Amino acid sequence: MENITSKNNEKIKSAIAIRDSASQRKKNGKFFLEGARLCGDAAISGGDILQFFFTEKARAKFPEFFEKILSSAGESYCISEEVSRKLSDTQSPQGMFCVCKTGDKNISADKINHNGKYILLENVQDPSNLGAVARTAEAMGVDGLIVSGGCDIYNPKALRACMGAFFRLNIIECGDIIRFIKSAQAKGMKAFASTPDSEAVKITEVDFSGGVICIVGNEGNGVTCETMSAADAKITIPMQGRAESLNASTAAAILIWEMVRRGA
Amino acid sequence: MENITSKNNEKIKSAIAIRDSASQRKKNGKFFLEGARLCGDAAISGGDILQFFFTEKARAKFPEFFEKILSSAGESYCISEEVSRKLSDTQSPQGMFCVCKTGDKNISADKINHNGKYILLENVQDPSNLGAVARTAEAMGVDGLIVSGGCDIYNPKALRACMGAFFRLNIIECGDIIRFIKSAQAKGMKAFASTPDSEAVKITEVDFSGGVICIVGNEGNGVTCETMSAADAKITIPMQGRAESLNASTAAAILIWEMVRRGA
């Protein structure tokens, strides 16, 4: 097992590039994880761990996670505290980091469960929102989280916010969102686009039975006009206050809750 | 109207202390706001604005907000761009800042609406969660948000996350949470403590009619044992995945939704 003590080590520099840049993640098909629990979740849930970086301290502090990650990882490196601080995105690094393979999450709408419940995020930008929705979707037992190209699900902040749900959740990337929706509809599924527009159908009046895809849009702009047009209906969460809209992850949570609760 | 061009001006230093420190906010009974929209919301909603700081650029860019804030503010100061950068907590400051009076939000449980729906946050730490719950509570039309002493509702991050709902929402600080709950119960209200414990009563089976207080606890530790004991029932949001819990603001959103939807 190799030791790394230099912050300028090529493997460290390349891990940092993966951590910091969405385009590097896309180009290399890799993503970066930090934290004993999150790296452990990746190992337990069959994530494809290419590289594992750990400090001696972390090895001693999290022996259980350490063993699991070590046995799953392609390559493992013992790093100095200084290198750990360099790799870390947080104030108090735990000293465990992984670089994983993204894998191919592009699945055609023909191959999903046509009686299932799915939440689709279109261009949701805030990584904390992405992570929060993944966490809720997994907890509520949806059949999958579908993300459009504009959602950076491998962002380190998103991965931290989802608390490991990422590895247990069926995540699907759709290249062409309109085509995905139309294929799903051809298989008998319904697609509902959410909007703060109070003229839309209230979610309390929506029939969530059968195969359903609920769509939540970008924080500022909502669901795009094209996607809205492709949907079977525009739906809305009734509001009583003077707020113009709900936070995207809050809206998604209430939609998921209603879809799963009433659509069973 | 005074101009301020020095970062070391006493008024600027004191505003920054209010911005950065919960104990300074408490001690001085003041809080700090940043952003044209948020300062404007304070002015429109009758917030008690003690000081208003603005740049010439901001004045030209947001004339409508500027006039409203100016006419509400006790003192107003035109600041340089350098001072604005110093006051700002964000990457691209808009150049409008207010110092406001917190006012007394300590209301006895005898004085709340005993047929109303309230969400109570106990020691919720993350300012983004606090702000998100305030935003949801206002949008859903709850009668009030009750916070325990452990919730720093005047944190600038919380104020940003709540998108102005702070000024439109009935916020109540309770010094002694147990006493508050017992007084509310004596007036016929029910207090429900939420928990991820699957043995608790499922929220789908809870009677939300009449006066209700739903309690959400700290992100890591949940509702305290003492508060749990004072509640009429422990309630839980049924989960199907392997997640151990929901994010505090997500749990609060689903509780608020169910309480308002079914308790009407």
> How high is the pLDDT of residue B163?
81
> Cα separation of B88 and B81, whole Å?
10
Q: Does A58 touch chain B (CB under 8 A)?
A: no
A230-244 pLDDT, tens per residue?
A: 999 999 999 987 777
Q: Which among A132, A140, A242 has the least Cβ separation from residue B240? A: A140
SS3 percent helix, strand, coil of chain B, rounded to 5, is 40, 20, 35
pLDDT at B125 over 80: yes
Q: Which among A140, A241, A247 has the least Cβ separation from residue B140? A: A241
**Which of the 8 DSSP states describes residue B110?**
G
> Cα separation of B216 and A247, whole Å?
19
Q: Does B44 touch chain A (CB under 8 A)?
A: no
* Domains of chain A: residue spans and CATH: 2-101 (3.30.1330.30), 109-263 (3.40.1280.10)
Q: How confident is the model at residue A214 (pLDDT cuts 50, 70, 90)?
A: very high
Chain B environment of A138 (Cβ under 8 Å): 241-243
> How high is the pLDDT of residue A149?
81
Q: How confident is the model at residue A181 (pLDDT cuts 50, 70, 90)?
A: very high
> How high is the pLDDT of residue B83?
96
Chain A environment of B246 (Cβ under 8 Å): 135-136, 139, 253
Strand order in the sheet with A117-121: A171-174, A144-148, A117-121, A212-216, A190-194, A233-236, A201-202
pTM of the model: 0.90
Tell me, rounded to whole angstroms, the distance of Cα A32 from its chain centroid: 13
Burial class (CB in 10 A: 0-12, 13-18, 19+), B46: exposed
pLDDT at B243 over 80: no
> How high is the pLDDT of residue A259?
96
> How high is the pLDDT of residue A155?
94
Q: Which among B237, B243, B257 has the least Cβ separation from residue A138? A: B243
pLDDT at B244 over 80: no
Q: Give me the residues paired with residue A234 across strands.
A: A193
Hunting for tokens 């609060």 — which residue is that? B252
Q: Does A128 touch chain B (CB under 8 A)?
A: yes
Q: How confident is the model at residue A1 (pLDDT cuts 50, 70, 90)?
A: confident
> Cα separation of B31 and B130, whole Å?
15
> How high is the pLDDT of residue A163?
81
> Pick from A160, A50, A154, A35: which is nearest to A99 by CA?
A50
User: Average pLDDT over chain A, rounded to whole?
Assistant: 94
Give yes or no for a contact between A251 and A194, defined as CB atoms under 8 angstroms apart. yes
Interface predicted TM-score (ipTM): 0.87
Lookup: tokens for A230: 């492709």
> How high is the pLDDT of residue A106?
84
Chain B environment of A135 (Cβ under 8 Å): 243, 246-247, 250
> Cα separation of A165 and A143, whole Å?
13
B163-186 burial: b if 16+ Cβ within 10 Å, else e: bbbbbbbbbbbbeebeebbebbbe
For the residues B179-202, what does the mean pLDDT come to? Answer: 96
B144-172 pLDDT, tens per residue?
A: 999 998 899 999 999 988 888 888 899 99
Rounded to 5 degrees, φ, ψ at B2 are -80, 145
Q: How confident is the model at residue B263 (pLDDT cuts 50, 70, 90)?
A: confident
Chain A environment of B134 (Cβ under 8 Å): none
B19-70 pLDDT, tens per residue?
A: 999 999 999 999 999 999 999 999 998 889 999 999 999 999 999 999 999 9
A79-131 pLDDT, tens per residue?
A: 999 999 999 988 889 999 999 999 888 888 888 999 999 999 999 999 999 99
Distance from CA of A186 to the nearest CA of B (A): 29
Q: How confident is the model at residue B77 (pLDDT cuts 50, 70, 90)?
A: very high
* A139–B245 CB contact, under 8 Å: yes
The residue count of chain B comes to: 264
pLDDT at A175 over 90: no
* A250–B250 CB contact, under 8 Å: yes
Can you say whether residue A251 is alpha, beta or left, with left for phi > 0 and alpha for psi between -120 and 50 degrees?
alpha
> How high is the pLDDT of residue A32?
96
* B241–A139 CB contact, under 8 Å: yes
Give yes or no for a contact between A97 and A58, defined as CB atoms under 8 angstroms apart. no
Portion of chain A with pLDDT greater than 70, in percent:
100
Alpha helices in chain B (DSSP H): 10-20, 22-28, 36-44, 56-61, 63-72, 81-87, 127-140, 156-161, 165-168, 177-186, 225-230, 248-263
* B128–A132 CB contact, under 8 Å: no
A25-44 pLDDT, tens per residue?
A: 999 999 999 999 999 999 99
A244-256 pLDDT, tens per residue?
A: 789 999 999 999 9
Give the up-direction half-sphere exposure of residue A207: CA atoms within 13 A in the CB hemisphere.
6
* B140–A165 CB contact, under 8 Å: no
> Cα separation of A57 and A192, whole Å?
49
B228-240 pLDDT, tens per residue?
A: 999 999 999 999 8
